[in-house]
Amino acid sequence: MTFDLSPLLVEDAVRAALAEDLGRAGDVTTQATIPAGAGAKVVIAAREAGVVAGLPLARAAFAFLDPNVGFEAWVADGATVAPGEIVARIEGSARAVLSAERVALNYLGRLSGVASLTALYAARISHTKAKVCDTRKTTPLMRAFEKYAVRCGGGANHRFGLDDAVLIKDNHIAVAGGVIPALRAAKAYVGHLTKIEIEVDTLDQLGEVLTEGADAVLLDNMRPDDLRRAVEMIGDRMVCEASGGATLDTIVAIAETGVDLISVGALTHSARVLDLGLDIGIS
C-alpha cells in the first residue's frame, strides 16, 4: 500500500514553516558566509533505527529555496531504517540546502518519530487481530501529517476531525438523556456516509448500544476481563475499540481480549523525534 499526502497541504505547511524560520532578514549566517553560487551535496541519514515518514515535506522545504534542487529519496515513507542508513540525497545550492535544513529535519524527524512509535506498538500486537489507532490528540496544525505518519508506522486512523464522524462521549450522553436518545439524535442529524461511534463505561451501557445500533463502540477504560465480555456481547455487530490506559506494557493484554482497535494518544502526543542528521559536503 502506498501512502498519500495532499500536495496542497504540504506546500502550505512547508512555506509557513520556512517563513517562521527565515523571519524578516533571512538566514543571515548563510548569507554572510556562503557564496551565492556554491553548490552542496548532502545526505540525510538515520542516527537510530526507526520508520521514516515525511519525505514529501522534506523535499518541499529544499525545493522552495532552490526550485532546481535534486532530491532523491533512497527509501520510501513507511520503510524501516537502520542506524546510519541513508534516507535521501540532496544536491543543490549550498545556501538553499543550509537554510532549509532545519525545517526539513523538523518535519521529517517528528513524523518519523510518530511512525516509529506506532510501529513499536503495532509490533507488540501483531499476533492478534487488533490494530493500534490514533486520536485527535495531535499537534495543532499537524494533524494530517501526524495521521499520515501513523499509517506509515502500520497504525490505523481514527476520525480526522469533529466533522467527519460522530463520537458520542459521556458528556453528550448525559445531556442527551442517555445512550439511546443520544444515538437517535445522531442518526437523525447526520447523513448516510457519516459513521457513529459511542463511548461506554459499563456493560450495561453497551447493552443499550447493541439494542439501538451504531457503527462502532468505544470501550472506555475497561479492564481486560470486561473487555473480553464486551467483545463477546458485540460479536461482529459493530467495530469495537478499546481506549484508555494502553501503553507498550499493557497493550498486549488489551489486544488479546479480541478488540478490533486500540486507540493510543501517545502515538501523536508523546512521540520522541527520530534522530536524523544531515551531512553536508559543499561542492
Nearer to its own copies, 2 or 249 (CB): 2
Cβ neighbors of 28 (< 8 A, separation 6 or more) are: none
CA distance 272 to 112: 9
Of 105, 100, 108, give the one whose Cα is nearest residue 30.
100
Q: Is 199 a catalytic residue?
A: yes
Out of 41, 89, 137, 143, the active site residue is 137
Nearer to its own copies, 72 or 189 (CB): 189
Cβ neighbors of 15 (< 8 A, separation 6 or more) are: 64
Least separation in angstroms between residue 203's CB and its own copies is: 21
Nearer to its own copies, 59 or 158 (CB): 158
Q: Is 223 a catalytic residue?
A: no
CA distance 194 to 208: 21
CA distance 145 to 151: 10
Q: Beta strand pairing status for 261-263 and 131-133?
A: parallel
Least separation in angstroms between residue 118's CB and its own copies is: 13
Nearer to its own copies, 188 or 225 (CB): 188
Structural contact between residues 223 and 203, judged by C-beta atoms closer than 8 angstroms: no
Q: Is 147 a catalytic residue?
A: no
Out of 21, 208, 220, 226, the active site residue is 220
Q: What are the backbone angles phi and psi of residue 83, rounded to the nearest 5°?
A: -55, 130
Nearer to its own copies, 225 or 236 (CB): 236
Least separation in angstroms between residue 17's CB and its own copies is: 4
Q: Is 102 a catalytic residue?
A: yes
Least separation in angstroms between residue 217's CB and its own copies is: 11
Least separation in angstroms between residue 174's CB and its own copies is: 6
Q: Is 187 a catalytic residue?
A: no
CA distance 45 to 22: 24
Catalytic residues: 102, 137, 169, 199, 220
